[in-house]
Structure 1
């Protein structure tokens, strides 16, 4: 295998707790190289799922954290100056297409729409990536697959995918796991006892009920893992929850008081 792509291999098995039939569905989608879209709230396991599937399939994974300043050149590549003159450097999308990796565009709606248009030729029957500045047409490697993710509940009308983009993908919905599964995840990731993870998940569920009623986002599974990790290191549970769960998601004094009260109820 080309040394360029070896660095993107997922060497160790990531921990992922299957929630429904998402693993089987993704495997079937990869079998026909269907581009996939993962939809769900922040911190619910979308990225971990992609890492797990890349490991399970034995494919390299190139992850791009999208942002509003990202240009098409950041994805496909650009000419660079060095001591010998100019040389072409592939971007992450071009590397994945050329060598046969899974390319994961995380929070793709954060990128400008004129940037996301470059993925269109890769997500239909053409499976090509034009490098216009270089005058090259990359025909995607047979192992290449494109995966994107976004949080549909968090986007404004100004920040959403065009229908012409959405309809090029299959889609899997993700959400926070049910109580028992989320407890298992938090205990596994942090080493805290089940009674502690039970309390953490209960706090999160209360906060998630406030989404749209003062909170833009609920407490994510990722945040519960942060809190559990602090507790496992000997931090007082109430302090751990304030630092990892309450303070990051709101600056509103009344909302903080309500969440702090929930923490006090359980710890």
Structure 2
């Protein structure tokens, strides 16, 4: 299997379009525009980019960014082996070489001195300098850089620099409308529409508490987890407590409030 083939998505991921984002992405990819996906945790950003990579027939390399990630983690480094040292490409370098879509998930979690290495790949140069190796890579014609982050978590101490933001087009994502989200839950879990709709109503109660005791609302991803447990025969109230309440907060009063919302529907 070639490097390119191992990163191809073989089966179609389920994705429900909300606001013509598929058409917009296809146009952006046609001109290889770097893209920024902005939206809350678990609202479908990663699923969207997986679907688009499948639809376009392009390899996808995903990097989960974190505060300890260095430029070498993205670009590559020399490693020791039995024969001495050898160069190991990082995921960004691999993507640039083979013409993959490189998806940097939650990019603001990475240090700013790390994210600046992507700048030459996001303008007319489309190059990547491997300074430790003394090599300048010209990105494959199919290469595209996509980043994502959750604006709700950002503050003055942790945000993208304007010099980085203005290298990207942007698509806003949010939780779908109630009917579409119910459809997604039913499709992903096999639940009846009525049960899926109840889960979505609980989520809406929880999302109204964001900024009033909760840092983040109940995500579509968590609703899928709850639906999967219910579909396996778990009591709906217990399933919701496990997936929609306990992961979000340890505050006793907030747990009671969310538990009451669950009891309203189940």
Q: TM-score range by the shorter chain?
A: over 0.9
- Do structure 1's residue 148 and structure 2's residue 151 form an aligned pair? no
Other-structure match for 2:194: 195
Other-structure match for 2:120: 121
For 1:192, what is the secondary structure of its paired residue?
coil
> After TM superposition, which residue ranges in structure 1, 4 or more long, deviate above 6 angstroms?
none
Structure 1 residue 62 displacement after superposition = 0.0
Structure 1 residue 155 displacement after superposition = 1.4
RMSD, aligned CA: 0.6
For 1:146, what is the secondary structure of its paired residue?
strand
Task: Give distance in 1, aligned partners of 2:182 and 2:46.
Answer: 19
Other-structure match for 1:262: 261
Task: Give distance in 2, aligned partners of 1:153 and 1:95.
Answer: 31
Structure 1 residue 5 displacement after superposition = 2.2
Other-structure match for 1:59: 58
Task: Give distance in 1, aligned partners of 2:152 and 2:33.
Answer: 24
Other-structure match for 2:111: 112
Other-structure match for 1:164: 163
Within 5 A, what are the aligned runs for 1:46-85? 46-85=45-84
1:7-36: per-residue Cα shift (whole Å, max 9, x none)?
110000000000011000000000000000
1:26-61: per-residue Cα shift (whole Å, max 9, x none)?
000000000000000000000000000000000000
1:87-124: per-residue Cα shift (whole Å, max 9, x none)?
10100000000110000000000000000000000000
Q: Unaligned stretches of 5+ in structure 2?
A: none
For 1:89, what is the secondary structure of its paired residue?
strand
1:195-226: per-residue Cα shift (whole Å, max 9, x none)?
10000000000100010000000000000000
Task: Give distance in 2, aligned partners of 1:10 and 1:36.
Answer: 20
Task: Give distance in 1, aligned partners of 2:154 and 2:227.
Answer: 29
Task: Give distance in 2, aligned partners of 1:193 and 1:156.
Answer: 41
Task: Give distance in 2, aligned partners of 1:6 and 1:104.
Answer: 17
Within 5 A, what are the aligned runs for 1:1-267? 3-267=2-266
Structure 1 residue 3 displacement after superposition = 1.0
Counting matched residue pairs gives 266
Task: Give distance in 2, aligned partners of 1:180 and 1:153.
Answer: 24
Output the TM-score relative to the length of structure 2.
0.99
Output the TM-score relative to the length of structure 1.
0.99
